[in-house]
Amino acid sequence: MAENKRSLGSEISKGIIKENPTLVMLLGMCPTLAVTTQAFNGIGMGLATTFVLLGSNIVISALRKVIPDKVRIPAFIVVIASFVTLIGFLLEGFVPSLYDSLGIYLTLITVNCIIFGRAEMFASKNGVLASACDAIGMGIGFTLALFLMGSVREIIGSGQWLGTSLPVLSKNPMLIFIMPAGGFFTLGVIIAAVNKLAKRKPPLEISCGDGCGECPMADKCAGKAGE
């Protein structure tokens, strides 16, 4: 029992630091770059993705013995897209301002590689409880990464933090940080900083290179696309 508890705890904690989906595994780059012009949007996107991830991981792991292997990708897609539609309705009803600022990127949670990757790598092979813990951990890790990105960009780019103006900085905001170019730059520096702190070598490639393990299409393409 004690051992079981510890392993569930480690399923949660691995997603936050050791296997952080954004900063270590480099998955889900699109929302990480696109919605993080404000820290609040980052949190919103992170929580919406966590909701979808939790729902899809639970359903997929519960159905893992029913879904035939050959049609698993369309089956996963339907489950994920249904949860995305659901969170879209919830946000539109209860937090319309967030719904407006996330815009099309809310729909694009459907094709977020984190959710697909977890469904393929974890939920389709593990039990419901473990999959739920995995989803919570990955979701928290993703939310924290987005919050970090959003904070850096909002503080430097518009001199505010969570909507509150900061002294000095608000007089001289560096607009480039809330523009697309600033997104790439901030993410590059954050990944470098994380690597420095963790004393790791920085990853050399993104998903289509070395990271085939997480890619749902790995068996079909076998790393050929990255060459």
Among 104, 164, 167, 172, binds other proteins (CB under 8 A): 104
Q: Select from 12-20, 23-31, 40-48, 124-132 the region that touches other proteins (CB under 8 A).
A: 23-31
Q: Is 198 an interacting residue with respect to other proteins (CB under 8 A)? A: no
Tell me which stretch binds other proteins (CB under 8 A): 54-62, 125-133, 134-142, 208-216: 208-216
CA dist list (Å): 38 to 8, 33, 101, 162, 163? 33, 11, 10, 7, 8
Q: Which one among 17, 73, 166, 169 touches other proteins, defined by CB under 8 A?
A: 73
CB 85 within 8 A of CB 99: no
Distance, in Å, from the CA atom of 97 to the CA atom of 103, rounded to the nearest integer, reads 10
- Cα 189 to its chain centre, rounded Å, is 18
The two beta strands, 164-165 and 160-161, are antiparallel
Q: In whole angstroms, what is the distance from residue 11 CA to residue 13 CA?
A: 6
Of positions 16, 33, 54, 98, contacts other proteins by CB under 8 A? 33
Interacting residue with other proteins among 62, 90, 129, 181 (CB under 8 A): 181
Least Å from the CB of residue 34 to other proteins: 4
| Lookup: tokens for 56 | 């899809």
**Does 180 help bind other proteins (rule: CB under 8 A)?**
yes
CA–CA dist 98, 46 (Å, integer) = 12
Provide the b/e sequence for 164-195 (b: ≥16 CB within 10 Å). eeeeebeeebeeebbeeebbeebbeebbeebe
Q: Which of 15, 150, 157, 182 binds other proteins (CB under 8 A)?
A: 182
225 lies in the binding site for other proteins (CB under 8 A): yes
- Considering only residues 147 to 166 of the shown chain, the ones binding other proteins according to CB under 8 A are none
Q: Please give the residue ranges that form the binding site for other proteins (CB under 8 A).
A: 26, 29-30, 33-34, 73-74, 77-78, 81-82, 84-85, 88-89, 104, 107-108, 110-113, 116, 176, 179-185, 187-189, 191-193, 195-196, 201-209, 215-217, 220-221, 224-227
